[in-house]
Structures are given as C-alpha cells and as structure tokens.
Structure 1
C-alpha cells in the first residue's frame, strides 16, 4: 500500500488529472441504482493520496499549492458529477429538435459548475493539510462545508451529496435522523478517506480505529432504531386512512401532444376507479403525480365534474396540475406548478404551489438577458412558472394535513419548515419520465426516502413513470411500484407521526460535527508546522 500511495502521490500532468477524474467517477457507483458504497473507500483513498502529492510550482508558494489543490478537487468533482448526472441529458432529447443543442451543457456544463464546490473543498482542505489523521479530518470538514454551500448557493442543487452513498439501505439510513444528510456526509468522508492512512502509516492506528468505530456506530444505531420500528409504526397507526397512489406511466412525448390530453386524463380516472387491491377497503385519498392534469383545470369545469363522477362519497383526489392566476389588465397570466385537493363534489378544497422551481426547466434565471441569446425554458408554458412565496399545507376533510413536496423540492432538507410538525405525512408528487430508464429516478427516490427518516414522517410518493411508493418513517418501502410500471398501490397512513425530528436539531449536530473535524484538523496542522520548524 505504501508503494502504491507513493506512486499516486508522484503522478504528474495528464496521468494525475485522469486518475482524479476516474476516482470521482468511481464514487458514483455508491449512488442508486448501484448502491455499492464500498466504491467510495477506493475513490476517497486515491483522492487523499493525490492531495498528498499536491505541491504546486516549486517557486509558487502557497498560492500555487492552493491553485493546484483546487484544480485537483475540481477534476475529482467533474468525474463524480458527470458519472452521477449524465442522465439529465435525456430530458433534452424528449424534444430533441428544440433542445438537443443544450445536451453538452446538461451532461458536462452542470457537472463543471458543481465541481467548483469540490474544488473549494480541496482548497480548504489543503490549507489545513497535515501528514496524519488531521488531513482526513480536514477533508471531512471541507467536503461538509462544500455540500452545505451547494444546497443553497445560486438556488442550490444538493443532488447526490456524498452522504447518500453511505445510506443505500434502511439500516444505514437511520443516522440521518439526528445528523441530517450533511452531518452524515461529514462523517462519511472521514470514514471513506481513512484507508489512505494505511499507505502513509502516520496516524494509521488511531485513524482506522476512529473510522471503524464510526462505521460500527452507523450500523449499530440503524439496528437499534429498526429493532423497535415496527412497534413504533403500529403505535402511530391511529385513525388510519386508506391511500391509493396512481402511477399512470404516461410517455413524456404524449404529455406534450395536445391531441392526447383527453385520453391521458381518462387513463388517470380509470386507474383511480379500480377496485381495492387484495379485497381491502376503498381508498379515502387518491394521489396522482405532478402535472397529471394536462390542461388548466379551473378553465375546464367539465373536468371537475368528471372527477366528481369517478370519486365516491367522502373520497378526495390529490393531483398535480398547472394553476393559472390572472395578473391584471395588460399583464400575462402567472402559472404555478401546483397540487390540488378535490373532493367528491368536484370542488377544490385545498391547494399548494411549488416554492423551489427548477432553473432552466421551470424558469429562466436572468430571463431577459438569456432569452436574447436563445436560452429558454425546457417547458411548454409561455413565460415559465412563477414560484410561490410560502408553502401551504394540504388540508384534507377531517383536519388531517400532508406536507407537499413537488418534484425536486424533496432534495432540499433545510427548506422543510416547522409547519411539517402539524402534518401526518410527506407527500412527494413528481414526473421523472423526462429522464427515462436511467439512474435519475432511483437517485431521486433515495433522497425522498431520506427526508422521511429526517422528519420522522411517512412518505407518500406518486411518480408518473416511477418510482412510486409508500415509505415508512424509517425509510423502509411498505408498498412500491418500480420504474416503467403502470398501475396503483394501496396502503394505510396513520394520523400521527412516529417522531418528529426538528431541522434545527439536525443543523446543530451538523455544526457540532464540523467543529470537531475542524478542531482535529487545526490541531494537527499546528503540530505539523511545529515539527517542521
């Protein structure tokens, strides 16, 4: 191992750059649908050894070393994000004549931008770098900082944070409850990087012991939580309601065809009216995916009447739809990506609009400037969508409420506000049909499952083409339907949560872990400089 570490440290030029990219790309195997978390052990071990060899120009001083480290981190991140996000290009091929030109921007441009955060991580780590355990702590701190920044800078895009690679199964998801995804990320980077100590020997015994302890604690805490999970879920299943998820499997090209609108609407209604599965009770709530209704519902009273014809007394439909709002004389209407709750009389009794829109998918940042150079939304709605200023809970008859997360809103843990404490379930409606049979829908599903663990709430997830599922508060799939399947799934949702985990608690633990890692790195760095002098 020492010989291998030495050879990697001494690499220079293109071999060094290519290895950094490959190390990052290898890490993507830890993500869905593969879930091979051991890949990160190799990925980060190689990255640490590459960082050890980051010297910069002999006469360049600190700036040269920092620049070299930043570029190394960028290469590592570029490999990771290209391998993990290449499927985004599939959305542009749905209407290839219009948007195929932007394929390189999606496949390489976005990863190039996201890699800047990993470049920053490497730069910060290099400033704190030492010759033993401290450099592993420095890397954990810097990647935690980078992933946290990535969650909100320029609207944020925390997709595929490193911590998700450490949570491929429910027993490994439970650490997210107290720590959140960013806290898990910090500790995961520490553990994944620890094998690098074998190649350099310095701090090896203590470092590997701490990493092994953290790894065992990760599994042990998961085992402890899941051991009492069934009893906790049973205790929370008071005043249950029956919920049906509809997965209609509508091809995206059909959704863009005006001539298909009526048949798409009827397909949803037909699935909704199917008899209960396995002789169970009829559903009280029926859930359709994001933008299921292919027209402005409030402009089509006949559609509301048709829904009322299908729903039985007391049933309600929750559906994604586009909502139009009159902006006044002389102004174009505003459009919102919304969720409606419709009762058996065909009345809209509750609604919620999407708060966090997809840049370049649902709106164009700096729109006036970019439209001049031909960059427009990847949607058919004139002018794009408008964002809601606040999130509204979806209130059902009887006072029960769901917390709505439309599409990729489910990837932003810190945007779930305190009103979630008043709800009995998370509701995620989405349309991942844009991305085809790629890793994208599975990555999205994992991130939504982690939100259930973090909040201590069950998750109801309806996706047009999959993955749709009922997920319990421990991230376990109760009932589900895989990608590219058509049908319905029925399950029961209780009225009270298993346990609410508060966002401020997770944030406090995240920063506590960050302070611990920074302290170890700083002490090691100080000691390292003292020894050199």
Structure 2
C-alpha cells in the first residue's frame, strides 16, 4: 500500500494525467443511472494524493498552483466526459444538419466545465496543508468551483458532487437542511476521508483522529436524519385532487413536421382520455392533466381549432397544463417563448409561464454575431431562438393548491426553483428529453428533480415526452412513474406539501456559513503546518 501511495503522489507526465482522468471518469459512476456513490470513497482519495504531489519544481505565485490546476482539469474532464457523453445524442436527431458538430460538443462541454475544477483544485492547493486539514482545503476548493459552475455564464449545475447523495432516499434527505451545495461541501470531506488511513507516518497525528471522527459523525448524522425524516413521512395525499400525466414518446425528428402537429394533439387527447384499468374512467377521473414541454408543436393561441378540440375533450372541472411555444409582436419584431399554458374545461387559457432559464445553443445562441460568423446560426434557428421569461411564477386555481412551473432543465437550479414571495403547493416540471434518446441524460434529469422536491419540501409532477414521467413526493420518493421510451400515462394522487424546509427558508445563509467555517479551518490548518506542505 505504501508503494502504491508513493507511486500516485510521485507520478509524473502522462501517467499522472491519465490517473487523474481515469479517477474522474470512475467518479461519474456515482451519478444516475448507475448510482454507485461508494466509488467516490476510492476516487477522491486518489485526487488528494495527486494534489499532495502537485508541487511546482520552481516558481512563485500563480505558477505554484499550476500543477494542481492541471490535476483538477484532467480529473474534471474525465468526470464530465463520462457523465455527459449523452449530450451528443441531440446532434443525431437531424444528423444531416448537426451530426458534424457532435464530436466537438461532446468534448468541448466537458473540457469547459473542467476549468471550474481546475480552479477549485488550485484554490485548494493555495490553502493546502500536510495533514488532515487538507480535506477542508479540498472541500472548500471544489465546493466553490461547483457553486461557480452553477451560476456563472447562466450556470450548469448538472451532476454536482452532492447529487451523489441522491442515489438513496435516506442519504438525500439532508438536502432539506443544507441543499445540494451543502451536501457537496460535506461530501468532499467524507469521500476523501479514507486517504487518512494511508497517509505517510509523518502526516499522522495532525488532526487525523479528529478528522476521521468528523467524517464518521457526518455519515452517521446523514443516515440518522434520513431515517428519522422518512420514518415520520405519514402525510396523506390531498383529498379530491388527482393527476394524469401523458407520455406519448413521440419521435423528436417527426414532431415538428406539418403533418406531425395535428397528430401530436390527437395523440395527447387520446392518451388523456384513455382507460388504464377496469376501475378507471379515463380523463373523467382527474382534476389535472399534464402534458410535457412543447407538447403542442404550434402556437396554441393562434389555433382556435386546437382550443376547441381541447375544450371538447376536457370534462367539467379539469385543468390542462401543457407546454407550447408562444409568439408575441408583429412580423417586424416578433419574439418567441418556450411556454406552459393552463387551460380550463372551456379551452380558455387561465394562466401561463414563460421559461426564464434557456439552454445555451439549444434555445438561444450566445454571442450571436460572433458564433453566427462561424456557421452556428442554423443551430439556433432550427432548435430554438427563444426569449427568456421574467422568472419563477406561481399559478393559482380555485379549489386546488397553487403550483409553480419549471420547464426542462430549470429544475436543476437549486436557488431558482420557486417564487419565494408566493410559495406554491407543488411544482410542475415539463420537459422534452426526447433529444437524448434512451441515454443516461433523462435519468440524471429525474434525479435532480427529486433533489429539488427534497430541498423545497414540495411534490413534483414531472411530464416528459419520452420519459421519465413521474409523481414525486416532497421527500423525493417516486410514487408512480413511466419508464424511458414507453408511451402511456402516469396516474396518481397529489401528495401534500411539507412546511418550508430549513433550506427553503435559510438555504443560502446556511450554505455560506458552513463554507466559511470549512475555509477558515483549511486556512488554520495551513498556518499550523506552514513550511511542510511543499516538501517530501
């Protein structure tokens, strides 16, 4: 074991880079659908050992941090490449137009995201120490990197480290206290702790016992809190409210054709009215029917025939929530929105929401003048070109709890899930993961929707074109669902919302407070061990 540890620390050149890359790629197994979170107990100690050896032969200032940044980049590149390869499937929907872009996108996005981990490891090395305190340095550095990844340049907090706790219902419940960023902070300490068992003899005794005790306490507290919270989960569903989710599994390449538009509406109406068993009455049994993102591939407000068909199909008292694009303005200044409409049984639009957090390159083109010049104009014209809406909004209807709407990947942003001034009683998440086929992407998307339910203490009703559609309770548990690629419906009662969780009330303050504590602990450990960290 000592020979292995020394080989990792002293590795150099391409062997060092490949070791970081492989460790990062293996770390991606912690995310859905594999959910092998325990692998992080192996890969994070490797990262610590690599950072132990990330010492510049010469140089001062920023140059001293370059080896740590290189390790962080290769570890991150492996992690994101292995975890996000499925994004390439979107470019194969119309391969004759976008297929040539796939290799570049599959590599470019992980390479760009890895820059955050490079910065995080450089920050960690800045306050690195030669003992147990370096776990605090790693936690502070990587958590800062993950938070920045979720906020800078519109943000992309996909597969955060803390999301690995979502592999099991019981370990995910702490998100109600500290959120996924707080789980990231604690997770870095816990997952890296095994390195303390294989530290060099001269490193032992510098807080080693206390750090191992802290890691053990965090694990026990997480499990204990989860067991207690789930043990008390006895809230009955809301009386008199029932949900039907339609999942048609319409092929993405056919959906937007002229003949496919009417077929899409007819398919949704048929599913919504279908009988799923001897005791069901089809749509007559449901107070709310939910269709996915852009379920209607046309401008609903400009299609009186479609509104009439919906009005004819909806029984009295039924509310339809459906995705559809929206246009406003004249031909000279027309704007388009990715929207959700709420329609009553008369086919009247009683509420709407415009997606605020758009997907770069999918729904809009960043830096359009520059990128259009290199041939990317057609991408945004074909896939999107939407205008962002104003942000979270709560829609109300008499006789039912108000609900918030999140379209597609808006559900992955922890701090923007609901309107804080007008808290809803449940969340409707509509999406079209059909772009990504039967890859890992839809599973990871669902996992993040479950995490938002836990953080907010709100049930989530998720409608996806090709799956995975589900009714999720406020503890993140899936009550009913329909598998990826299947066509059908999901029926169920609406779970009761919980009171606002500590994270919903004080989430940012709790996270910032914990982060400062960890950073101060890392700096203090560095100060106590000054003069030893860069020697062997």
TMscore range, shorter length: over 0.9
State the alpha-carbon separation in 1 of the partners of residues 383 and 185 from structure 2: 42
Q: How does 1:348-427 map to 2 (within 5 A)?
A: 348-376=349-377, 378=379, 384-398=385-399, 400-419=401-420, 421-427=422-428
Q: CA deviation at 1:356?
A: 0.4
Alpha-carbon distance in structure 2 between the residues aligned to 1:255 and 1:465: 12
Gapped regions of structure 2 (runs ≥ 5): none
Query: Is the 1:2–1:198 Cα contact (8 Å) retained in structure 2?
Result: no
Report the alpha carbon displacement of residue 397 of structure 1 after superposing the two structures with TM: 3.9
SS state at 2:343 partner? strand
Match of 1:77 in 2: 76
Residue number in structure 2 paired with 1:216: 220
| Aligned match of 1:440 | 441
CA offset digits 1:164-204 (Å, max 9, x no partner)? 11220111110100100100000001111111112215243
Deviation at residue 60 of structure 1 after TM alignment: 2.0
SS at match of 1:133: coil
Taking a change above 3 Å as real, the CA distance of residues 160 and 266 of structure 1, as seen in their structure-2 partners, is: same
The residue that corresponds to 2:493 in the other structure is: 492
1:345-375 CA deviation, whole Å, 9 max, x = no partner? 1111111100000000000111122112211
Deviates more, 1:23-32 or 1:371-380: 371-380
2:431 counterpart residue number: 430
| Change in 2 beyond 3 A, CA 1:69/1:278 | farther
Residue 461 of structure 1: how far off its partner (Å): 0.3
Q: Corresponding residue for 1:307?
A: 310
The structural deviation recorded for 1:259 is 2.2
Q: Secondary structure at the match of 1:6?
A: helix
Change (3 A) 1:416 1:40: same
Compared CA separation, residues 526 and 470, structure 1 to 2 (3 A): same
1:117-266 alignment to 2 at 5 Å? 117-201=116-200, 202=204, 203-229=207-233, 231=234, 233-234=235-236, 237-266=237-266
Is 1:93 the counterpart of 2:96 in the alignment?
Answer: no
5 Å-filtered alignment, 1:467-478, equals 467-478=468-479
Q: CA deviation at 1:5?
A: 1.2
Q: Find the counterpart in structure 2 of residue 39 from structure 1.
A: 39
Please give the alpha-carbon distance, in whole angstroms, between the structure 2 residues aligned to 1:356 and 1:472: 24
TM-score, normalised by the number of residues in structure 2: 0.94
Aligned-pair Cα RMSD in Å: 1.8
The Cα shift of 1:382 comes to: 8.5
Distance 1:277 1:394, change over 3 A: farther
Match of 2:332 among 298, 307, 330: 330
Using the TM superposition, give the Cα deviation of residue 531 of structure 1 relative to its aligned residue in structure 2, in angstroms. Answer: 6.7
SS at match of 2:490: strand
Instruction: Tell me what 2:25 maps to.
Output: 25
SS of the equivalent of 2:377 reads coil
Structure 2 CA distance, aligned partners of 1:280 and 1:512? 51
Q: TM-score, normalised by structure 1?
A: 0.95
Partner SS state of residue 340, structure 2: strand
Comparing 89-98 with 387-396, which one deviates more in the overlay? 387-396
Q: Is the 8 A contact 1:467 1:481 kept in 2?
A: yes
Deviates more, 1:467-476 or 1:417-426: 417-426
1:106 corresponds to: 105
Please, which moves more after superposition, 256-265 or 116-125? 256-265
- Distance change in 2, residues 1:277/1:424 (3 Å): farther
1:311-357 C-alpha deviation (Å, 9 max, x unpaired): 1111111100001111x4632x1110000011111111111100000
Change (3 A) 1:176 1:370: same
**Preserved contact between residue 8 and residue 50 of structure 2 (Cα < 8 Å):** yes
Aligned-partner Cα distance in 2 for 1:485–1:245: 13
Q: Say whether the 8 Å CA contact 2:130–2:532 is kept in structure 1.
A: no
Contact 1:421 1:500 in 2 (8 A): no
CA deviations 1:120-166 (Å, max 9, x no partner) are: 11000001111111111100111111111111100000100001112
Q: Relative to structure 1, is the Cα distance of residues 104 and 329 closer, same or farther in structure 2, using a 3 angstrom cutoff?
A: closer
Displacement of 1:62 after TM fit? 4.1
TM-superposed CA distance for 1:238, in Å, is 4.2
1:433–1:465 CA contact under 8 A, matched in 2: yes
Contact 1:285 1:317 in 2 (8 A): yes
Q: Distance in 1 between matches of 2:482 and 2:435?
A: 18
Aligned to 2:520: 519
CA distance in 2, matches of 1:337, 1:329: 18
CA distance in 1, matches of 2:464, 2:50: 41
Name the CA distance, whole Å, in 2 between partners of 1:53 and 1:47. 10
Change (3 A) 1:220 1:80: same
The 3 A distance-change label for structure 1 pair 277 and 348 is: farther
Q: Is the 1:406–1:430 Cα contact (8 Å) retained in structure 2? A: yes
* Match of residue 2 from structure 1: 2
